[in-house]
């Protein structure tokens, strides 16, 4: 490859071509333009490119004559590999990256095209939003978010450095791993949670309304992402099929253990005889009397404790367990604001906040998460101001 030395003519590394001006492409354009980069915008839809231009994300590619130093392909997942191959061919001196949320399959497809793999470095800025399109773009979309740089084995070190610099320039927390490591990671922390949320929510479809009405905060949290777009998730899951399948197979093995334990308990534990489940039938060799079965259930929940405790805290530092302070809040405009005003006055920083709602009653419970050392002072301060507090 031919990455120029710093300072060589106009090739200063700050000429960026963005192909695909949806949410990610347009946000990147806004962020880079604000930092003095020269951004050229290209999109299969001229209207979409013009909108991104009007929002301040850069110039239209047709109005830019310089060759780009860096090309960012932010096209839909199912065309990414093809577009990357085209861009590598069209700009023989440029480094090319993409922002697809799955990395191995893009690289595999590029290998098959015979593309110049030294100049290709995949990346994945983890900064989606629930809305899409340039109209939802924001210059600070990447600020503080993880940005994974995932070079293949043939990637040139200077190309890797160029893509890392891109993520750092827009304020992201850049980390580097292989495409396989990336795909295994997002399978476990993103794709499998999506499948689980969708399947749990799907079980509500045929439930009586009186049963669904018993839904509490637990299932609301577990299924929040079940509202996601099926078309988008079909593309993501299909692109990462082997890695998602590997995690789901392990999860199914755990699930089968739980099912076996429940079967043993349903058949052997009740005074009324066999369980009421019509599908009930003993598995040969299932634990008798529920002793081993209870241990299986306890282990499944305990292993969940262990895994959950590994999820990092808000600042990406070592995993942190927060203390919670629960405060009764009237369900009226301004009540939560008064509470948080008082929290702020106490000089205590909120790490997280959950509102818990009752059914048909004008009162809610705000669960404030704070660093453990702040729990007692916060409880005392709020109680002194007349809030009903439970820590």
Asked if residue 196 binds a copy of itself (CB under 8 A), the reply is yes
**How far is Cα 359 from Cα 131, in angstroms, rounded to an integer?**
30
Contacts of residue 352, Cβ cutoff 8 Å, sequence gap at least 6: 314, 322, 368, 369
Smallest gap from Cβ 8 to a copy of itself, in A, equals 33
Question: Is 194 near a copy of itself (CB under 8 A)?
Answer: yes
Contact 85, 59 (CB under 8 A): no
- Cβ proximity to a copy of itself: between 156 and 183 the closer is 183
Strand partners, 366: 327, 355
Contact flag: residue 341 with a copy of itself (CB under 8 A): yes
Q: CB-wise, 118 or 179, nearer to a copy of itself?
A: 179
Exposed (0-12), middle (13-18) or buried (19+): which is 366, by Cβ within 10 Å? buried
The residue from 355, 373, 380, 384 that contacts a copy of itself (CB under 8 A) is 355
User: Does 266 engage in binding with a copy of itself (CB under 8 A)?
Assistant: yes
Q: Which is nearer to a copy of itself, 13 or 151 (CB)?
A: 151
380 binds a copy of itself (CB under 8 A): no
Angle at 179 between CA 178 and CA 184, to 5 degrees: 100
- Residue whose CB is less far from a copy of itself, 40 or 286: 286
Contact characters 27-66, a copy of itself, x per CB under 8 A = ----------------------------------------
Going from the C-alpha of 36 to that of each of 39, 53, 96, 148, 229, the distances in angstroms are 9, 15, 20, 23, 35
Asked if 324 is part of the footprint of a copy of itself (rule: CB under 8 A), the reply reads yes
Cβ neighbour number for residue 190 with a 10 Å cutoff = 16
Nearest distance in Å: CB 74, a copy of itself: 18
What is the smallest separation between the CB atom of 277 and a copy of itself, expressed in angstroms? 4
Pairing of strands 352-357, 146-150: unpaired
Scanning residues 272 to 311, which ones bind a copy of itself (CB under 8 A)? 272, 275-280, 290, 293-294, 297-311
């Amino acid at each position: 490859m031919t990455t120029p030395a710093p300072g060589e003519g106009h090739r200063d590394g700050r000429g960026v071509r963005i192909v695909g001006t949806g949410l990610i492409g347009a946000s990147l354009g806004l962020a880079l333009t604000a930092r003095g980069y020269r951004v050229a915008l290209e999109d299969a839809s001229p209207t979409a490119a013009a909108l991104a231009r009007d929002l301040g994300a850069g110039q239209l590619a047709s109005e830019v004559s310089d060759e780009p130093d860096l090309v960012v392909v932010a096209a839909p997942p199912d065309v990414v590999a093809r577009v990357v191959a085209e861009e590598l061919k069209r700009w023989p001196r440029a480094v090319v990256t993409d922002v697809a949320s799955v990395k191995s399959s893009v690289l595999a497809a590029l290998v098959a095209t015979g593309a110049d793999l030294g100049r290709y470095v995949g990346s994945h800025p983890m900064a989606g939003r629930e809305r899409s399109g340039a109209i939802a773009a924001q210059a600070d979309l990447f600020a503080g978010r993880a940005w994974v740089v995932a070079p293949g084995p043939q990637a040139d070190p200077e190309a890797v450095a160029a893509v890392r610099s891109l993520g750092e320039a827009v304020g992201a927390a850049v980390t580097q791993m292989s495409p396989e490591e990336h795909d295994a990671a997002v399978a476990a922390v993103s794709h499998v949670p999506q499948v689980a949320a969708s399947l749990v929510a799907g079980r509500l479809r045929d439930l009586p309304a009186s049963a669904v009405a018993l839904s509490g905060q637990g299932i609301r949290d577990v299924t929040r992402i079940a509202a996601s777009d099926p078309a988008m998730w079909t593309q993501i899951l299909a692109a990462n099929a082997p890695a998602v399948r590997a995690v789901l197979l392990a999860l199914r093995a755990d699930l089968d253990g739980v099912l076996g334990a429940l079967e043993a308990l349903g058949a052997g534990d009740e005074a009324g005889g066999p369980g009421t489940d019509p599908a009930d039938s003993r598995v040969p060799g299932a634990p008798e009397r529920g002793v081993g079965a209870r241990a299986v259930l306890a282990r499944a929940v305990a292993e969940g404790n262990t895994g959950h405790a590994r999820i990092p805290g808000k600042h990406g530092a070592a995993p942190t367990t927060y203390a919670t302070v629960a405060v009764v809040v009237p369900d009226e405009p301004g009540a939560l604001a008064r509470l948080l005003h008082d929290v702020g006055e106490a000089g205590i920083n909120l790490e997280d906040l959950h509102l818990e709602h009752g059914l048909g009653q004008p009162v809610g419970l705000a669960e404030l998460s704070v660093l453990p050392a702040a729990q007692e002072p916060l409880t005392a301060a709020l109680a002194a101001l007349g809030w009903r507090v439970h820590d």
